Structure 1
Amino acid sequence: MNLRDLTPWHHGKAGAGSTPAISELHREVDRVFDDFWRGFGGPSLFGGNGSAMAFDVRVDTSEDDKAYHVTAELPGMSEKDVEVTFADNMLTISGEKKEEKEVKEENVHRRERSFGSFRRSFTLPSEVDEAKIAATFKDGVMTIDLPKSKTAQKKAKKITISRGK
């Protein structure tokens, strides 16, 4: 058995135009690690060029009889960095994070930058009373309340469950 026997190849003949599956695996592992570090707000390790990058925003969604509720974690941001829009029953949260810190101490000089953008959209399943949508921002957490319209509230009916025979 030689190395060629251990290296999986795509279907077809090896040679010009074929790519070893091991190369695809290597790219996939790089992508997984890149996504992992990006989730911590860190820079891209594989293929990053130091420019702005997109970052993930953690969002919790819930619903009760009267409204939908969306809570987004936006650490290091303020309400001025975020835009919330609602059109055609779709809520969109977008923003850009720009942060620059400079530390000057004796024999130490360091400047750190953190920046990137995000955009999340949610299609809501029933009508929303657009005039009553409210958003609040406190300590890096934004909460959006989207009250259901009166007709959407009436559509929900609780069904009594009886014990089977």
Structure 2
Amino acid sequence: MAITRWDPFRDVLALQSRLNSLFEDFTRGQGEQDALTTAAFVPPVDIYEDEHKVVLKLEVPGIKQEELDIRVENNTLTVRGERKFEKEEKQENFHRIERRYGSFYRAFTVPSTVDTESVQASYEDGVLKIEMQKKAESKPKQIKVNVGSSPKPIEAGKSEKPAA
């Protein structure tokens, strides 16, 4: 049996944790429907790049193309939008509302290698795709390496042996 040192504050902290969870459970039931339908949400984003461009893909299903605002200012790309909760005139008996509604705002720092004049956006199947072309000077360049002091490259399969 292990000897445990008595800590009088451990019991106080456990009691505080229990009380906090009790109050959270109580307040969670109050106005939960309103909180779910009007809370702002953050759409998930994938960002990747290749040698020619940087691409962002945001999941924004249910948002009309006209309700999206995309801007590039001071090396910052901002995307704003709003998904509205449409209430119909007839009474709906919702059992659960899990989709988030409200406005969103995402901001991304644009690398200095990107040409901010060539940003293009497309919207298809609920996915907003933003493509930013890289500047020509930032694209990778192939550099040929010469072996030794000879300016001509060595051909494969041939060896340079000095004549005896």
TM category, shorter: 0.5 to 0.7
Partner Cα distance (2:29, 2:139) in 1: 49
Aligned residue in 2 for 1:129: 115
TM-score after normalising by structure 1: 0.61
Partner Cα distance (1:9, 1:45) in 2: 22
Once the two structures are TM-superposed, the CA of residue 5 in structure 1 deviates from its matched residue by 7.6
Distance 1:5 1:87, change over 3 A: closer
Unpaired segments ≥5 residues, structure 2: 1-7, 146-164
Larger Rg over CA atoms: 2
Aligned residue in 2 for 1:86: 72
Q: Which stretches of structure 1, 4 residues or longer, exceed 6 Å deviation after superposition?
A: 111-114
Aligned residue in 2 for 1:9: 13
Aligned residue in 2 for 1:22: 17
Unpaired segments ≥5 residues, structure 1: 11-19, 34-43, 161-165
Distance 1:144 1:26, change over 3 A: same
Aligned residue in 2 for 1:119: 105
Identity %: 28
Once the two structures are TM-superposed, the CA of residue 54 in structure 1 deviates from its matched residue by 1.1
Distance 1:111 1:131, change over 3 A: farther
Which one has more relative contact order, counting CA pairs under 8 Å at least 6 apart? 2
Aligned positions, number: 129
Q: After the TM superposition, which residues 16-165 of structure 1 pair with which residues of structure 2 at under 5 Å, given as runs?
A: 21-22=16-17, 26=21, 30=24, 45=28, 50=34, 52-102=38-88, 104=90, 109-110=91-92, 115-154=101-140
Deviation string, structure 1 residues 12-68 (Cα, Å, up to 9, x no partner): xxxxxxxx64168528x95xx9xxxxxxxxxx9467572632102010100011110
Flag the structure with higher strand content.
1
Contact 1:55 1:117 in 2 (8 A): yes
